[in-house]
């Protein structure tokens, strides 16, 4: 290794580092600019007129934004809670077990939301829920919670499964050898070790629910905007830095969660 | 088999399905089930004000590709649909190629960093991916719009005096999709490059290969599974993209996703929307099956 | 007392059917140190897991003091296991690990604390009580695993190659330690190992296993001195196998004729009656003698120096080889060198005629 620094570096490929640098800049430049202009004193999202928090204030005072924020958070909370609970149980049933009949079907079913284009699921849910709405007259948040729970399941399932796969089955055997009943084994041994995976899965599900546009746009009833669908509606008009301010807050939540997820999934097993 | 083992196995089976029930029920109601309803709807007659009438019809499927002239009732290809389909495939392919050009060197760069810093580089790639797709699209939109940063900068520096119209063009859609789906290319490429044995590269140089020959003859074949995976991962969501073409195309440059939406909105032709939606699903499934097949073959080949 | 009766365990079905255990019957007595010895894949661990309750046998019965064990799930069986990987709970401290079984049994807090203290003293881990299990060495983890399994005072302790992860020196210490613990607690130990030396030094009785069945059960002395068959003789220690013809058999002894035509008396407890054709003889029971003496003559092919002793490989005829072992005593000098013609001799009654 000491030699390769001075001599011939077998890993080097001409121009690759430059392209990688360009790639990283391109990935972050638009987002950084978006954040910067959320603090703009003027009404433009391209011309800098000085620092100001006025757009955060105006977003905060905007009743539609307030309602959409609360709705987004409530929705993400329930969807991630339901999806994570279902995913934990499903992971327990499909991980560290002998291969069983129907395993690949179950696995495909759980991961289906990852494979089917969102727009396809969105219109399918529109068709189904439109019928139910007419039949029952219920137009509450339940449809969105159900839809979000479904597409959040694989995102919660995969990190939980990964964690579970890395766990030593003999620990559970040792516990049952020491007189722990199956439930005690789960509560005292499996759950404490699985916890980082569950947390990671829940956070991922939360972020995914919080960010969803397409399915929400098709499933929501009138007046049920979430933050992303509210923003989508705003983009049709003249964009003010208020949208940047909302975006920045959403970005901050996502980035925090993703970084926390990253470190959680590195917790030693 | 003893009765004991048999009864244990039976109980194990019951527990397993009990544990799977919540997830499967939710997925059945809100993921798999609705797809079947969509398929059913594609064979019904459109209602006058949206919705359907429960009369069997293959008209919707027929209309995916063909159209009847309203004046003389002659049969022709549905040019509008076909051009949108073609645009979807074309833009998705271009996005994929763009992602390879940018993503391959980036993944290689990360894979050749010291082991402890690779995770951090990958985190830098993944952070944008896990942040809101709409926001990222919006960020690009602000960059390239007529009053946006790029045009302002070019005008200010005197390179141009009229803003270049990028937004609401096919190029804009491609730039947007490339931006939002690029991490999906880097991820699998990195995964296969990280496992790359650089002794093989050394052996290549030892046998008089040039840098380019090493790249083409040794590295590329070895990371091919990652390249295929990345291409599928970028191509599939691009093909079904809805938000990015809506924002970047401004309702002028439709892709398949927008065409589907149109049938449920202004078009008021739910069966056609359903048929188009199933068509999209079918194309995606073919791509995925192709991927699974080739991934499986690679594994056998290397096994 | 554990009675294992005609236990079989099959995995898979049809052509890929594999018998991990094949009609195994054995009785493990109270308070004994019983060892299951065999190469990897011989079924010894499977048998242990059948007793612990992690493997359901396909056929047969397992009872303990007359009670059917097989109907009980693992957490109802009065046996504890020391796992090969120790399986210490990583999220619990040393003390919490040792207390775990007692807590699960619902013992009162005071009793748990007292027993845990006793156990930590027994394995000399008192100073480490509040450490996380990841912060202690392999040998210490081993002790904690042992204390954890002993704490609920099981009737039987099952040990699955517990010493295999330790280095040589530590392993020797722990062998003595384990034997001491077994004697002190009076608990029946069922010990699984592939290390014949470990088995010989620690056990009251050994069951040698191969390919899913038990080949021989006996005391270490019996197993070593009187191997019943070629597999056992070969697996335990070094053995020379000589082709012989069995002549007259009288009681335990038989007259055997060697390839050289000379005859010698050999034990034939298990093999002789059936007319066996192989004589097993330990290298240390033979010695080199001048060429005109001894039972066999050959050419000294190889001299291998081992420190404590030296091995002499002697070729007898075309495809017969015998290894002789001589201790290196102070002042002893090699009498023979490679290429010499030598004689090999061994006393009457030390060879063992094997079952075919």
Which CA distances in Å does B140 have to A152, A233, C267? 27, 17, 92
Cβ–Cβ of B132/A210 closer than 8 Å? yes
Cβ–Cβ of A30/B143 closer than 8 Å? yes
Interface with chain A: mutation pick from C54, C80, C85, C90, highest number of A CBs within 10 Å: C90
What subunits touch chain C, counting only 3 or more CB pairs under 8 A? A, B
Question: What's the rounded mean pLDDT across residues A66-75?
Answer: 94
Q: Average pLDDT, whole number, for chain C?
A: 88
Collect all residues of chain B within an 8 Å Cβ-Cβ radius of residue C71: 4
Could you read off the pLDDT of C243-279 as tens digits, one per residue?
888 888 877 888 888 888 888 888 876 654 556 688 8
Domains of chain B, by residue range, sit at: 78-302
Q: Looking at residue C63, what is its pLDDT?
A: 93
Query: What's the first-to-final CA gap in chain A, in angstroms?
Result: 31
The whole-angstrom separation of Cα C53 and Cα C49 is 6
Could you read off the pLDDT of C35-54 as tens digits, one per residue?
999 998 899 999 999 999 88
The whole-angstrom separation of Cα C267 and Cα C246 is 11
The whole-angstrom separation of Cα B77 and Cα B67 is 6
- Confidence band, pLDDT 50/70/90 cuts, at residue A1: very low
Buried (b) or exposed (e) across C252-278, using 16+ Cβ within 10 A? ebbbbebebeebbbbbbebbbeeebeb
Residue A164: is its pLDDT beyond 60?
Answer: yes
Instruction: For residue A260, give the nearest of C110, B216, B208, B123 by alpha carbon.
Output: B123
Coil, helix or strand at residue C154: coil
For residue C60, give how far its alpha carbon lies from the nearest alpha carbon of chain B (Å): 9
Could you read off the pLDDT of A177-194 as tens digits, one per residue?
999 999 999 999 999 999
Share of chain A above pLDDT 90, in %: 57
Regions in chain B scoring below 50 on pLDDT:
300-303
Name the superfamily (CATH) of residues B78-302.
MetI-like (1.10.3720.10)
Question: Which one of C56, C58, C59 has the shortest CB-CB distance to B8?
Answer: C56
Sign of CA dihedral B136, B142, B145, B151: negative
Whole-number CA gyration radius for chain C: 24
The whole-angstrom separation of Cα C34 and Cα B195 is 47
Residue A140: is its pLDDT beyond 80?
Answer: yes
Q: Looking at residue B300, what is its pLDDT?
A: 47
Could you read off the pLDDT of A31-59 as tens digits, one per residue?
999 899 899 888 877 778 889 899 999 99
H or E stretch covering A156: helix A142-165
Q: Looking at residue A11, what is its pLDDT?
A: 79
Q: Looking at residue B267, what is its pLDDT?
A: 82
Smallest CA–CA distance from C56 into chain B, residue: B5
The whole-angstrom separation of Cα A168 and Cα C83 is 12
Could you read off the pLDDT of C119-144 as tens digits, one per residue?
998 888 889 889 988 889 888 998 89
Residue A5: is its pLDDT beyond 50?
Answer: no
- Tell me the CB-side half-sphere exposure of residue B196, using CA atoms within 13 A: 32
Q: Looking at residue C4, what is its pLDDT?
A: 93
H or E stretch covering B63: helix B59-65
Collect all residues of chain A within an 8 Å Cβ-Cβ radius of residue C87: 168, 170-171, 173-174
Beta carbons of B90 and B237 less than 8 angstroms apart = no
Cβ–Cβ of B105/A19 closer than 8 Å? yes
Residues counted in chain B:
303
Q: Looking at residue B87, what is its pLDDT?
A: 93
Residues counted in chain A:
269
Domain A63-265 sits in CATH 3.40.190.10: no
Domains of chain C, by residue range, sit at: 2-231, 238-354
Share of chain C above pLDDT 70, in %: 97
Q: Looking at residue A225, what is its pLDDT?
A: 93
Residue C316: is its pLDDT beyond 70?
Answer: yes
For helices A227-234 and A63-94, what crossing angle results, to 10°?
Answer: 130
Give the B window 6-65 contacts with C, CB below 8 Å: 8
**CATH architecture, range C238-354:** Beta Barrel (2.40)
Burial (CB count within 10 angstroms: exposed 0-12, middle 13-18, buried 19+), residue C242: buried
Residue A63: is its pLDDT beyond 60?
Answer: yes
Where are the domain boundaries for CATH 1.10.3720.10 in chain A? 63-265
Question: What's the rounded mean pLDDT across residues C73-91?
Answer: 90
For residue A27, give how far its alpha carbon lies from the nearest alpha carbon of chain B (Å): 7
Q: Looking at residue B89, what is its pLDDT?
A: 93
Fold of domain C2-231: Rossmann fold (3.40.50)
The whole-angstrom separation of Cα B246 and Cα A218 is 14
Could you read off the pLDDT of C142-184 as tens digits, one per residue?
889 999 999 999 999 999 998 887 888 888 888 888 888 898 8
Could you read off the pLDDT of B86-121 as tens digits, one per residue?
999 999 999 999 999 999 999 999 999 998 899 899
The whole-angstrom separation of Cα B24 and Cα B31 is 10
Q: Looking at residue A75, what is its pLDDT?
A: 96
For residue A177, give how far its alpha carbon lies from the nearest alpha carbon of chain B (Å): 17
φ, ψ for residue B100, nearest 5 deg:
-65, -45
Q: Looking at residue B25, what is its pLDDT?
A: 96
The whole-angstrom separation of Cα C58 and Cα C12 is 11
Residue A79: is its pLDDT beyond 90?
Answer: yes
The whole-angstrom separation of Cα C55 and Cα C74 is 10
Beta carbons of A235 and B176 less than 8 angstroms apart = no
For residue C10, give how far its alpha carbon lies from the nearest alpha carbon of chain B (Å): 9
Collect all residues of chain C within an 8 Å Cβ-Cβ radius of residue B15: none
Smallest CA–CA distance from A190 into chain C, residue: C89
Question: Which one of C74, C105, C134 has the shortest CB-CB distance to A177?
Answer: C74
Smallest CA–CA distance from C148 into chain A, residue: A178
CB-based contact (8 Å) between B100 and chain A?
A: no
ipTM computed for the complex: 0.88
Beta carbons of C280 and C241 less than 8 angstroms apart = yes
Could you read off the pLDDT of C15-29 as tens digits, one per residue?
888 889 999 999 999
Beta carbons of A58 and A242 less than 8 angstroms apart = yes
> What are C342's strand-pairing partners?
C298
The whole-angstrom separation of Cα B246 and Cα B254 is 7
Coil, helix or strand at residue A68: helix
CB-based contact (8 Å) between A171 and chain C?
A: yes
The whole-angstrom separation of Cα B176 and Cα B162 is 23
> What are C37's strand-pairing partners?
C193, C208
Collect all residues of chain A within an 8 Å Cβ-Cβ radius of residue C79: 177
């Amino acid at each position: 290794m000491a030699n390769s620094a001075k001599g011939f570096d077998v890993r080097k490929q001409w121009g690759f580092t430059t392209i990688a640098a360009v790639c990283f800049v391109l990935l972050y430049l638009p987002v950084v600019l978006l954040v910067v202009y959320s603090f703009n004193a003027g009404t433009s999202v391209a011309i800098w007129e000085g620092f100001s928090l006025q757009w955060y204030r105006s977003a905060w005072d905007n009743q539609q934004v307030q309602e959409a924020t609360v709705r987004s958070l409530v929705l993400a909370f329930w969807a991630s809670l339901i999806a994570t609970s279902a995913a934990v149980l499903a992971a327990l049933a499909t991980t560290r077990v002998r291969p069983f009949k129907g395993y690949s079907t179950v696995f495909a079913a759980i991961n289906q939301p990852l494979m089917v284009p969102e727009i396809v699921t969105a219109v399918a849910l529109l068709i189904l829920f439109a019928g139910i709405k007419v039949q029952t007259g219920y137009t509450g948040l339940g449809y969105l919670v159900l839809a979000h729970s479904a597409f959040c399941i694989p995102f919660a399932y995969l990190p939980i499964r990964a964690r579970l796969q890395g766990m030593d089955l003999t620990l559970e055997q040792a516990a049952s050898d020491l007189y722990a009943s199956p439930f005690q084994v789960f509560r005292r041994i499996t759950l404490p070790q699985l916890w980082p995976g569950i947390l990671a899965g829940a956070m991922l599900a939360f972020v995914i629910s919080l960010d969803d546009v397409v399915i929400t746009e098709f499933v929501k009833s009138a007046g049920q905007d979430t933050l992303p669908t509210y923003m989508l509606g705003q983009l049709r008009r003249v964009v003010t830095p208020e949208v940047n301010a909302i975006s920045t807050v959403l970005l901050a939540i996502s980035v925090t969660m993703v970084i926390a997820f990253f470190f959680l999934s590195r917790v030693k097993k | 088999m003893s009765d004991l083992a048999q009864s244990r196995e039976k109980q194990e089976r019951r527990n397993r399905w009990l544990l799977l029930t919540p997830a499967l029920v939710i997925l059945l109601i809100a993921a798999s089930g609705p797809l079947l309803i969509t398929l059913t709807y594609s064979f019904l007659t459109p209602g006058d004000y949206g919705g359907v009438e429960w009369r069997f019809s293959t008209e919707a499927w027929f209309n995916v590709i063909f159209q009847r002239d309203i004046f003389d009732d002659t049969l022709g290809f549905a040019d509008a649909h076909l051009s949108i389909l073609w645009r979807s495939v074309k833009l998705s392919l271009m996005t994929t190629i763009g992602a390879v050009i940018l993503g391959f060197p980036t993944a290689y760069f990360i894979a050749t960093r010291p082991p402890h810093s690779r995770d951090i580089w990958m985190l830098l790639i993944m952070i944008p991916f896990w942040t809101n797709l709409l926001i990222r699209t919006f960020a690009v939109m602000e960059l390239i719009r007529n009053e946006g940063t790029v045009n302002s900068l070019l005008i200010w520096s005197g390179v141009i005096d009229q803003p270049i119209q990028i937004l609401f063009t096919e190029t804009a859609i491609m730039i947007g999709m490339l931006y939002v789906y690029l991490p999906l290319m880097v991820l699998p490429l990195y995964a296969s490059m990280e496992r790359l044995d650089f002794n093989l590269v050394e052996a290549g140089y030892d046998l008089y290969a040039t840098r380019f020959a090493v790249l083409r003859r040794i590295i590329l074949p070895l990371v091919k599974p990652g390249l295929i995976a990345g291409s599928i991962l970028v191509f599939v969501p691009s093909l079904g993209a809805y938000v990015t073409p809506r924002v970047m195309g401004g309702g002028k440059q439709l892709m398949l996703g927008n065409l589907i939406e149109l049938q449920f909105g202004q078009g008021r032709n739910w069966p056609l929307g359903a048929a188009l939606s199933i068509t999209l699903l079918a194309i995606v499934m073919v791509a995925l099956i192709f991927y699974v097949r080739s991934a499986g073959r690679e594994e056998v080949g290397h096994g | 007392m554990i009675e294992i009766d005609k236990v079989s365990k099959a995995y898979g079905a049809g052509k890929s059917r594999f018998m991990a255990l094949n009609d195994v019957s054995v009785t493990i007595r109270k308070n004994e140190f019983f060892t299951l010895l065999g190469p990897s894949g011989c079924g010894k661990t499977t048998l242990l897991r059948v007793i612990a309750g992690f493997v359901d046998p396909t056929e047969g019965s397992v009872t303990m003091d007359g009670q059917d064990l097989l109907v009980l799930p693992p957490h109802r069986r009065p046996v504890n296991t020391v796992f090969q990987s120790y399986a210490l709970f990583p999220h619990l401290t040393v003390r919490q690990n040792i207390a775990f079984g007692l807590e699960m049994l619902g013992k009162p807090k005071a009793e748990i604390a007292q027993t845990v203290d006793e156990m930590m003293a027994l394995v000399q881990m008192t100073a480490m009580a509040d450490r996380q299990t990841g912060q202690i060495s392999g040998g210490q983890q081993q002790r904690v695993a042992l204390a954890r399994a002993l704490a609920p005072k099981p009737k039987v302790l099952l040990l699955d190659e517990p010493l295999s992860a330790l280095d040589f020196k530590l392993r020797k210490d722990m062998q003595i330690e384990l034997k001491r613990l077994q004697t002190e607690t009076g608990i029946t130990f069922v010990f699984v190992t592939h290390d014949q030396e470990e088995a010989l030094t620690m056990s009251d009785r050994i069951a040698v296993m191969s390919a899913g069945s038990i080949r021989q059960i006996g005391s270490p002395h019996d197993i070593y001195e009187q191997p019943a068959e070629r597999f056992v003789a070969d697996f335990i220690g070094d053995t020379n196998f000589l082709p012989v013809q069995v002549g007259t058999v009288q009681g335990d002894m038989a007259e055997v004729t060697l390839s050289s035509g000379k005859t010698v008396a050999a034990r034939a407890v298990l093999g002789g009656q059936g007319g066996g054709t192989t004589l097993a003889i330990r290298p240390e029971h033979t010695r080199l003698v001048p060429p005109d003496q001894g039972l066999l003559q050959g050419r000294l092919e190889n001299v291998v120096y081992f420190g404590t002793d030296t091995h002499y490989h002697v070729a007898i005829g075309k495809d017969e080889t015998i290894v002789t072992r001589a201790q290196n005593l102070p002042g002893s000098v090699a009498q023979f060198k490679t290429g010499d013609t030598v004689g090999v001799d061994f006393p009457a009654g030390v060879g063992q005629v094997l079952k075919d």
